[in-house]
Amino acid sequence: MQDKCGVFGITLDSKDAALPVYYGLYALQHRGQESAGIATYDSSIHIERGMGLVHEVFDEHLLTHLKGSQGIGHVRYSTTGFSKLENCQPAVVNYRGGTIAIAHNGDIVNALDIRKTLEAEGRIFVSDSDTEVIAHLLVKELMKYDTITAIQELMNKLRGSYSLTLLLNDTVIGVRDPYGIKPLCIGKLDDGYALSSESAAIDTLGGELVRDVLPGEIVALKPDGFTSQRAAKKAITAHCMFEYVYFARPDSTMDGALIYEVRRKIGEVLAEGDVEADVVIPVPDSGIAFAIGYAQKSGLPYTEGLIKNRYVGRTFIMPGQDLRETAVRLKLNVIKKHVAGKRVIMIDDSIVRGTTSRKIVDMIRAAGAEEVHMRIGTPPIVSPCYLGIDMPTYGELIAARKSVDGVKLMIAVDSLKYITLAGLIDSIGLPREHLCLGCLTGMYPIEKPAERAMQLKLDAFANGVKKKDERVPVSPVSS
């Protein structure tokens, strides 16, 4: 599973926005490592985008040329729209009223339909991204309405998940879809206000989290505050559950809950009435908070049994090898002494395909563990996401094909326990009806588009994709 995009926006009193946007994106880097971009406004819009990590795309030279006290930024892992420079965000379009830059996190379910409608009107598209669809639609509404009304009309037409930061000439605007699926929050800085996918980026700038943007809310920043409008159309709230268990930084607070505490709480719930064991070890890094919670509740010692190579992530593995095994070994090493002869509780955030889990379990056993009990911070994932997370298909989701016992057998553990849905919801602390649990239940807040439409969308530009790098990347261990 891949992190999705991160968005950021800022309006300052007088200083240039580029550097704080850069720092903000830096703090959101975990949400997307494929490309990065910043747009600022200073009588005209300045834009720089590129493939790679934030610090690879930008240098001092580029940042000093991005003038202006208003700016937005974006980090991206592609979901729709393939890995091409053309798809880097923020997208910038010129129209009658000036220039608009758009940074988008989410997935527009009816993008293809809207696109067809717009094409039928004679409009042209230069990319395959949802963002261009949003741009067209927004400009269309801006031809008829004032800015806020236009955005409300835009929101009436878009179906799906979207947290947007917009730079409409000199105004930074934040928009969150009526379901509030993807996160977006408001921060107060020394000399201005910011919008960010996560509060940790506000912290990095030395600012303070004001509050989350509400589902369906439109927030326009000013150096000394912000205005708020709600979109007319009401909807149920459906915050993405996965942000809490995997995507977001543990030090972010999201829709009222500190991510770290949610994960620690899940660990505690998992510990309740669990089997006897000697040590609790996390699969680093995503299992750490869960394991600490489990240890505290159970009284078992929290133990680092797996050490992660901090330089891993971009290596390659030569073809003809047992790829996954080598990949896991390059990434993780067992401290034998910590597991040998022990009954081990091992905690991970989730199981997606199960193949990596199996390799880790094998390593732990080879190191002499007496028993291995796997505990998982997310209930079984049985259905793919189409609202903003890059997930495997049904066929690849192990829990969609196998029972818990089947998975247990496959990953070869002595016992396997997932957090229950109730336990998860309780740990998050939000009402069940305020969460999107689609991947766990198959019940989504927004009607699932026809398979065919999805396929078309995915195939649209597939031929155009240039595979720059044929190396086999090291897969994240927890997926």
Which residues are catalytically annotated? 5
> Judged by CB under 8 A, which of 44, 228, 420, 455 binds a second copy?
44
User: Applying CB under 8 A, does 245 fall inside the site for a second copy?
Assistant: no
Give, as one character, the DSSP assignment of residue 52. S
Distance CA 198, CA 254 (A): 7
Binding to a second copy by residue 15, rule CB under 8 A?
A: no
334 contacts a second copy (rule: CB under 8 A): yes
Of 250-258, 380-388, 395-403, 422-430, the segment contacting a second copy by CB under 8 A is: 250-258
**Whole-number Cα distances in Å, 220 to 2, 91, 128, 164, 274:** 30, 19, 28, 12, 49
State yes or no: residue 311 binds a second copy (CB under 8 A).
yes
The residues in 376-405 that bind a second copy, with binding defined as CB under 8 A, are none
Q: With binding defined as CB under 8 A, does residue 340 bind a second copy?
A: no
Per-residue interface string for the shown chain with a second copy, residues 113-132, x marking contact by CB under 8 A: ---x--xx-xxxxx-x----
Q: What sections of 158-287 are H helices per DSSP?
A: 199-204, 241-242, 259-271
| 206 lines the binding site for a second copy (CB under 8 A) | yes
Q: Which is nearer to a second copy, 245 or 446 (CB)?
A: 245
CA distance 4 to 1: 9
Element housing 55 (H / E) = helix 54-57
CB of 134 to a second copy, least distance (A): 11
- Residues forming beta bridges with residue 93, ordered by sequence position: 100
Coil/strand/helix, residue 433: helix
Per DSSP, the three-state class of 42 is coil
Do the Cβ atoms of 463 and 128 come closer than 8 Å? Answer: no
CB of 413 to a second copy, least distance (A): 21
Chain residues 281-300 in contact with a second copy, contact rule CB under 8 A? 285, 288-289, 292, 295-296
CA neighbours closer than 13 Å in the CB half-sphere of residue 428: 27
Residue (404 or 461) nearer to a second copy, CB: 461
Cα 66 to chain centroid distance, Å, stands at 27
The one-letter amino acid code at 163 reads S
43 forms part of the interface with a second copy (CB under 8 A) = yes
Candidate ranges 106-114, 188-196, 237-245, 327-335; the one touching a second copy (CB under 8 A): 327-335
Our finding on whether 444 is near a second copy (CB under 8 A) is: no
Residues 138 to 167 in contact with a second copy, rule: CB under 8 A: 139-140, 142-143
